[in-house]
Amino acid sequence: MLRVGAKVMESITWIDQIVVPVFILWFVGIILVLFRKDLEILWKLSFLFLFVVYLILFGKEWSNALDRLEANPGWEIRSYIYGLGKAIFYFLFILWPITMIRLYYTGSKELAKHTASLLVTITILYWMLFWLYFQFMNEVDQFFDGRFQEWFIR
């Protein structure tokens, strides 16, 4: 159990922390794909089917996250921010070897250069933010536990 203010919150897992932001991204992606005119209807239905399957698979986490968001929005949004930081770290860890293999097999020199420079830039930016967080961890945590929470109490 985790005590937040006067309330006792249940201990949540990493997937519980990111399920709402991930589903928001999925929803935005689905909307954008559905409005794209050059994609065949089969692909659009496939993407929609995948979204529904994931929504079913993570329905309990989605429902619990919405309940937590309603009960304590400040704490839940703070949880999203911290959870997405962890998710990006693990995502980059998995993406790098896959990208390097893909770069080896790509036929386009320009695509390989563009992909490599983009991923290096994203990784360096993440590491810089990660370093800044650890340099000012106490201040950041105090902000999210104090002033950030006050914004949602009003």
d(CA 74, CA 85): 17
In the three-class reduction of DSSP (H, G, I as helix; E, B as strand; rest coil), residue 2 is classed as strand
Q: Are residues 59 and 78 in the same domain?
A: no
Q: Are residues 151 and 79 in the same domain?
A: yes
Q: Are residues 60 and 108 in the same domain?
A: no
**3 has pLDDT over 50:** no
The whole-model pTM stands at 0.73
**1 has pLDDT over 80:** no
Domain of residue 90 covers 73-154
To which residue do tokens 């990208």 refer? 99
Q: Are residues 58 and 104 in the same domain?
A: no
Q: For residue 10, what pLDDT is reported?
A: 57
pLDDT in tens, 22-70: 999 999 999 999 999 999 999 999 999 999 999 999 999 999 999 999 9
Q: For residue 154, what pLDDT is reported?
A: 62
- In percent, how much of the chain has pLDDT > 90? 66
